Structure formats: C-alpha cells, structure tokens
Amino acid sequence: MPDTQQKHVTVAGATGKLGSQIASALLSISSSVQVHVICRDQSRLAPELSSDSRVTVFETDGYDAAKVREAIRGCSAVVCAYLGPDGFMIDAQKVLIDACEAEGVPRFIPSDYTLGMYCIHWFSISSGFARY
C-alpha cells in the first residue's frame, strides 16, 4: 500500500550542487514529500525546484533565526548542505540546530561530509577503493 502521509523536509543550502541534488532526490521519492528550501538567493534555485508546487522557498542568509525557524516548522528532518567559510559553517549550522531544538524537529543532518568535494584527489581515492 503506498504511503500517502505528507512528509516535510527542509534542505538548507539548496542552490548549491549538493543541496539541489538532495532536494531533487527527496522530491523523486514520493508525491507526498514537501520540501522547504533555505537559500540566500532564490533566483539561483534550479528551475525544476523553483517550479515544483511541493517546494516552499525561504530566502535568508542563514543567520536570521526567525526565518530559519519558519522554514523548518512542521518538518520531520533538516538536511544542511551549506558550503562556505568556517565561521559560516559553524555559526549558520548553530542557528539551524537551535531552530530544530526550538521547533521539535527530531532529525538534523549536518553539513559535514568529512571532506571537501573540490579537494578530492580522485585517483588516490579510487585506487584505494580497488583494494576492497
């Protein structure tokens, strides 16, 4: 039996390469998924996201606690796909974490994927995987 219960997920940093892919993947899972996106400039949002009626856009720099709380209100998860300077990565994610706590959001996935996607030496990684 198909799952028809509405699911709301917030993706912070949705105009970036990773964030837009996460938001698109969430939308492809089910027609009952609603995605709230947090971005600094909604004009940079991928057309397939900005034109989808299941996407609600919240434009903020990431530091506006009230706007962030509005974006995550009613969501069951927040996925952070921020990429920026250390200060932003720490401070803006702290705003998200505080908002999740205040709004009772049970799941937060931080933007710390352990390595920078632009600093990867693909050959050394792929040769390392070949051993397994």
For residues 3 and 30, is the Cβ–Cβ distance under 8 A?
Answer: yes
Q: Is 1 inside any structural domain? A: no
Pairing assessment for the beta strands 33-39 and 7-12 based on DSSP bridges: parallel
At 14-69, the pLDDT tens digits run 999 999 999 999 999 889 999 999 999 999 999 999 999 999 999 999 999 999 99
For residue 131, pLDDT over 50 is answered with no
4 dihedral zone (left: phi>0; alpha: psi -120 to 50; beta): alpha
Per-residue tokens: 91:
């401070």
Q: Is 2 inside any structural domain? A: no
Q: Can you point out the beta strands (E) in 31-107?
A: 33-39, 55-59, 77-80
Q: How many domains does the chain have?
A: 1
Q: Is 95 inside any structural domain? A: yes
Alpha carbon 93 to chain centroid, angstroms: 11
Which structural domain, as residue segments, surrounds residue 17? 7-129
Per-residue tokens: 35:
């995605």
Q: Is 61 inside any structural domain? A: yes
* Rg, C-alpha atoms of the chain: 16
Look at residues 19, 21, 30, 23 and name the one whose alpha carbon lies nearest to residue 9.
23
At 5-26, the pLDDT tens digits run 779 999 999 999 999 999 999 9
Q: Is 103 inside any structural domain? A: yes
Q: Is 15 inside any structural domain? A: yes
- Give the CATH number for residue 69: 3.40.50.720
SS3 for 36? strand
